């Protein structure tokens, strides 16, 4: 167990949540994402943008020099000239501002007097203009955690979402600009969170308050958390874009472990007497060593005209294979750097060799070629010379950083909560004013209007759910954290399906299906509503809910009727009803003879049990009456 207090853990969270507005933040385009073929594409070269102080982002400049191009994909109905930076931004969307003002008042933040639009440099090409526009709406305020601890909020901003990355191939990146400009609220906490659990609680508390406004977008990709993590003697690491809430605590836990391991490696290197000047960019061409290699990676690189370059890392033997967190070693960190700066597939290092088709003999010759002693490690790369050199330069840089401890960087979360190198951390002072939009005054009258419409707080909602629908508090809380609170209330007010069943189905059942790999995110609210309506009308059994939901999730463009039919839960055809009627009547000829038409009641009960809601009761009754009449005529 790590004593988080003792190591001085400090975590700050930025929650980015898409707002459910009818238009984008700086133009009138709708906020709709599509997955079909884009209407048109625009190709641009990535250009390094300067901040006001004249600083150029090193990663952006590097990409520019390497000639990276970007393909922007767009649809005519969700993109105008504003997104493509061909036209100045329009006045900010008032609805987005008002949602942020509502949230600000809910947490006791102080709205600013005047809204200024600021430009924040972005360097990855996700915005054709080279910057993201952001508006500070309020400062301060606080949220309360279940433990009673309060977490101060620093800023509440409204900003435009970036274009979404579609793919990356060689020197090209594809972005789709339909997401660009969708309003986001950004809520940033002070860096006072002191444990992984607290980080998750803080993200959850902010998320609940945002959802309480009922004006945020739902579903995968609509919330992203940036988590800033540092420990004493470590470095400030920004993990960007954590989408799942339950991953926040894992991300913090793993990052702490990684930093602690890196500090141990630093101490060990110092203990071995390794000095910065010992680590040099002396790259040795070892192509000859691998002339007859069985390594598939090296063979294919050589076939494409590449070379094998190697560098010695003095005193690093055994440390590159050291695990920092699950599946990530110091060697992995170097490999990720090499991939980013050198566009290579990866590296090999002597801590993992012989292996990957590289023989002991080749390793011996490799060590000899670079003059490595037993305590040294050797890293090699096979690729085009320029790429291999860039890659090894990045490896050397990372090795020097290992000697200092933890390098500051931006990291990307993986599905298991571990993180990988994403890019260097951009420098400070990245904001400068947007000159195309005048400042906007926030009047006391407008704030008063907003204050009158403060929504129900999460804890009030839980209380109301418990008292109104008779569900327990656990289910009420689960509903609050689900995407289905409003749907739940609609179903319970418009059908007679028991609320506890509805709540459990929309939370526990769907969650357990998701754990089993069912793509429940495909289920639309309309479909779910339809399923409960069928249950209410007796046309589907409650017990069939998991089967129906699973089928619909796996067949997203099909209807509820098709699901019922496909699962054998659909309506019976008139022929099938007739056959059932025939069966019941022939089983009961005696009863019919005895009671005449009065036998109807008993037989109807039998029949409806067999039909189980799969046929209209009126039709069944009509068929049964006629058949009884016929039976009586026959015997009479």
Residue 402 phi, psi dihedral angles, 5° rounding? -60, -30
What is the x/- site pattern for Zn ion, positions 83-102, by CB under 5 A? x-------------------
Residue partners of 270: CB distance under 8 A and separation at least 6: 403
State yes or no: residue 29 binds Zn ion (CB under 5 A): yes
Cβ closest to Zn ion, residue 79 vs residue 195: 79
* Cα 529 from Cα 454, distance rounded (Å): 28
Q: How far is the CB of 386 from Zn ion (least distance, A)?
A: 39
Phi, psi for 384 (deg, rounded to 5) = -55, 145
What whole-number distance in Å separates Cα of residue 261 and Cα of residue 616? 68
Nearest distance from C-beta of residue 184 to Zn ion, angstroms: 16
Q: How far is the CB of 275 from Zn ion (least distance, A)?
A: 55
Minimum Å gap between C-beta 222 and Zn ion is 19
Site residues for Zn ion, 567-626, by CB under 5 A, read none
Measuring CA to CA, which residue among 479, 476, 477, 459 is closest to residue 468?
A: 476
- Shortest Cβ distance from residue 41 to Zn ion (Å)? 16
The DSSP code for 596 is: G
Strands 172-176, 69-74: parallel, antiparallel or unpaired by DSSP? parallel
As measured in angstroms, the least distance from the Cβ of 126 to Zn ion is: 16
- Asked if 227 touches Zn ion (CB under 5 A), the answer is no
| 121 Cβ contact partners less than 8 Å away, ≥ 6 residues apart | 49, 51, 57, 130, 131, 426, 430
Pairwise CA distance, residues 581 & 450, whole Å:
63
**Structure letter (DSSP) for residue 50:** B
> C-beta of 27: minimal distance to Zn ion in Å?
3
Of residues 19 and 564, the one with the C-beta less far from Zn ion:
19
Binding status of residue 42 toward Zn ion by CB under 5 A: no
- Binding span for Zn ion by CB under 5 A among 26-34, 200-208, 219-227, 496-504: 26-34
Question: Judged by CB under 5 A, does residue 431 bind Zn ion?
Answer: no
How far apart, in whole angstroms, are the C-alpha atoms of residue 604 and residue 592?
Answer: 12
Size of the site for Zn ion (CB under 5 A): 5
Nearest distance from C-beta of residue 25 to Zn ion, angstroms: 10
Stretch that binds Zn ion, among 74-82, 461-469, 496-504, 539-547 (CB under 5 A): 74-82
Question: Dihedral angle at the C-alpha atoms of 553, 558, 560, 561, nearest 10 degrees?
Answer: -150
Q: Which long-range contacts (CB under 8 A, 24 or more apart) does 617-620 make?
A: 619/574, 619/577, 620/577, 620/581
- CB-wise, 28 or 597, nearer to Zn ion? 28
Stretch that binds Zn ion, among 82-90, 134-142, 209-217, 611-619 (CB under 5 A): 82-90
- Which residues, other chains included, contact 192 with Cβ-Cβ below 8 Å and sequence gap of 6+? 10, 12, 151, 152
CB 26 within 8 A of CB 82: yes
Considering only the stretches 8-16, 73-81, 101-109, 360-368, report the one whose residues sit in contact with Zn ion under the rule CB under 5 A.
Answer: 73-81
Among 9, 27, 205, 520, binds Zn ion (CB under 5 A): 27
Smallest separation, CB 177 to Zn ion (Å): 9
Query: Smallest distance, Å, CB 134 to Zn ion?
Result: 18
> Of 23 and 329, which CB lies nearer to Zn ion in the complex structure?
23
Query: From the CB of residue 239, how many other CB atoms can be counted at a distance below 10 Å?
Result: 26
Q: Which stretch binds Zn ion (CB under 5 A): 78-86, 109-117, 229-237, 385-393?
A: 78-86
Of the two residues 77 and 267, which places its CB atom closer to Zn ion in the complex? 77
Q: Which of 320, 334, 317, 348 is nearest to 398 (CA)?
A: 334
- Judging by beta carbons within 10 Å of its beta carbon (0-12, 13-18, 19+), is residue 605 exposed, middle or buried? exposed
Q: Between 68 and 179, whose beta carbon lies closer to Zn ion?
A: 179
Stretch that binds Zn ion, among 27-35, 170-178, 291-299, 425-433 (CB under 5 A): 27-35
Of the chain, the end-to-end C-alpha distance in Å amounts to 88
d(CA 595, CA 602): 10
> Binding segment for Zn ion among 25-33, 193-201, 247-255, 324-332 (CB under 5 A)?
25-33
Helix (H, G, I), strand (E, B) or coil at 193: strand
CB of 8 to Zn ion, least distance (A): 46
**228 and 238 in contact (C-beta within 8 Å)?**
yes
CA distance 72 to 164: 10
Question: In whole angstroms, how close is the CB of 28 to Zn ion at the nearest point?
Answer: 7
Minimum Å gap between C-beta 117 and Zn ion is 16
Nearer to Zn ion among residue 25 and residue 324 (C-beta): 25
Cβ proximity to Zn ion, 83 vs 333, nearer residue = 83
**Nearest distance in Å: CB 377, Zn ion:** 52
User: Does 74 engage in binding with Zn ion (CB under 5 A)?
Assistant: no
Residue with Cβ nearer Zn ion (90 or 343):
90
What are the angstrom distances between the C-alpha of 376 and each of 44, 277, 317, 318, 348? Answer: 44, 15, 5, 9, 14
Residues 583 and 576: their CA atoms lie apart, in Å, by: 11
Distant-in-sequence, close-in-space partners of 613: CB < 8 Å, separation ≥ 6: 537, 538, 539, 540, 541
Q: Between 93 and 333, whose beta carbon lies closer to Zn ion? A: 93
> 190-209 mask for Zn ion (x: CB under 5 A)?
--------------------
Choices 23-31, 62-70, 443-451, 506-514 (CB under 5 A): range interacting with Zn ion? 23-31
Under the criterion CB under 5 A, does residue 80 sit at the interface with Zn ion?
yes
CB distance 14 to 225 below 8 Å: yes
Least gap, CB of 180 to Zn ion (angstroms): 8
Task: Please tell me whether residue 135 binds Zn ion under the rule CB under 5 A.
Answer: no
| Residue of 60, 82, 480, 531 interacting with Zn ion (CB under 5 A) | 82
What one-character DSSP code corresponds to residue 435? T
| Cβ distance to Zn ion smaller for residue 33 or 447 | 33
For residue 32, the minimal CB distance to Zn ion (Å) is 12
Structural contact between residues 156 and 132, judged by C-beta atoms closer than 8 angstroms: no
Considering only 72-80, 285-293, 508-516, 524-532, which stretch makes contact with Zn ion by CB under 5 A?
Answer: 72-80
- Of 352, 308, 323, the closest CA to residue 254 belongs to 323
User: Binding mask 542-561 vs Zn ion (x if CB under 5 A, - otherwise)?
Assistant: --------------------
Which C-beta is closer to Zn ion: that of 98 or that of 178? 178
Our CB check for Zn ion shows the closer of 132 and 259 to be 132
Distances (CA, A) of 531 to 23, 44, 152, 525, 556: 31, 47, 43, 10, 14
The contact set with Zn ion (CB under 5 A) reads 27, 29, 80, 82-83
């Amino acid at each position: 167990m790590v004593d988080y207090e003792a190591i001085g853990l400090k975590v700050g969270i930025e929650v980015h949540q898409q707002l459910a507005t009818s238009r984008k933040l700086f133009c009138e385009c709708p906020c709709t994402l599509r997955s079909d073929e884009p209407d048109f594409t625009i190709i641009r070269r990535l250009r390094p943008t300067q901040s006001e102080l004249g600083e150029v982002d090193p990663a952006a400049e590097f990409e520019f020099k390497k000639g990276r191009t970007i393909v922007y994909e767009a649809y005519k109905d969700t993109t105008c000239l504003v997104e493509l930076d061909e036209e100045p931004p329009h006045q900010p969307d008032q609805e987005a501002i008002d949602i942020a003002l509502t949230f600000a008042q809910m947490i006791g933040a102080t709205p600013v007097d005047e809204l200024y639009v600021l430009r924040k440099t972005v360097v990855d090409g996700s915005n054709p203009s080279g910057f993201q526009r952001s508006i500070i709406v309020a400062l301060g305020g606080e949220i309360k955690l279940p433990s009673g601890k309060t977490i101060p909020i620093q800023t509440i901003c409204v900003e435009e979402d970036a274009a979404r990355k579609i793919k990356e191939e060689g020197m090209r990146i594809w972005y789709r600009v339909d997401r660009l400009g969708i309003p986001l609220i950004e809520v940033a906490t002070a860096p006072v969170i002191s444990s992984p659990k607290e980080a998750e609680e803080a993200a959850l508390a902010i998320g609940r308050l945002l959802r309480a406004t009922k004006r945020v977008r739902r579903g995968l990709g609509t919330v992203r958390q940036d988590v800033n993590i540092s420990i004493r003697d470590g470095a400030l690491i920004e993990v960007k874009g954590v989408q799942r809430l339950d991953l926040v605590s894992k991300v913090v836990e793993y990052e702490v472990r990684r930093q602690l391991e890196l500090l141990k490696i630093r101490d060990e290197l110092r203990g071995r007497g390794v000095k910065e000047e010992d680590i040099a960019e002396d790259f040795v061409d070892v192509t000859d060593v691998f002339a007859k290699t069985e390594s598939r990676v090296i063979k294919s690189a050589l076939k494409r005209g590449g070379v094998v370059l190697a560098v010695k890392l003095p005193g690093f033997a055994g440390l590159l294979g050291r695990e920092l967190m699950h599946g990530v070693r110091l060697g992995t960190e170097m490999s990720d750097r090499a991939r980013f700066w050198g566009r290579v597939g990866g590296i090999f290092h002597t801590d993992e060799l012989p292996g990957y088709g590289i023989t002991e003999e080749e390793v011996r010759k490799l060590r000899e070629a670079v003059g490595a002693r037993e305590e040294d490690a050797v890293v090699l790369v096979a690729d085009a010379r320029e790429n291999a050199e860039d890659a090894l330069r990045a490896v050397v840089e990372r090795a020097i950083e290992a000697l200092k401890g933890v390098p500051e960087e931006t990291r990307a979360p993986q599905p298991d909560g571990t993180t990988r190198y994403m890019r260097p951390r951009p420098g400070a002072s990245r904001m400068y004013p947007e000159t195309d939009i005048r400042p906007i005054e926030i009047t006391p009258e407008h704030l008063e209007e907003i204050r009158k419409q403060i929504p129900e707080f999460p804890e009030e909602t839980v209380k109301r759910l418990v008292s109104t629908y008779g569900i327990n508090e656990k289910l009420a809380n689960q509903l609050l954290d689900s995407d289905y609170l409003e749907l739940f209330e609609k179903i319970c007010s418009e059908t007679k399906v028991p609320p506890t069943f509805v709540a459990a189905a929309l939370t526990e059942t769907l969650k357990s299906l998701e754990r089993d790999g069912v793509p429940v995110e495909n289920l639309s609210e309309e479909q779910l509503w339809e399923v409960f309506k069928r249950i209410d009308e007796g046309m589907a059994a409650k017990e069939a809910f998991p089967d129906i939901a699973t089928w619909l999730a796996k067949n997203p463009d099909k209807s509820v009727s098709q699901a019922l039919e496909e699962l054998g839960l659909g309506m019976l055809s008139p022929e099938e009803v007739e056959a059932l009627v025939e069966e019941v009547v022939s089983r009961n000829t005696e009863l019919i003879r005895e009671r005449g038409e009065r036998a109807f009641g008993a037989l109807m009960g039998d029949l409806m049990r067999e039909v189980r809601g799969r046929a209209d009761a009126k039709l069944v009754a009509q068929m049964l009456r006629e058949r009884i009449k016929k039976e009586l005529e026959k015997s009479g």
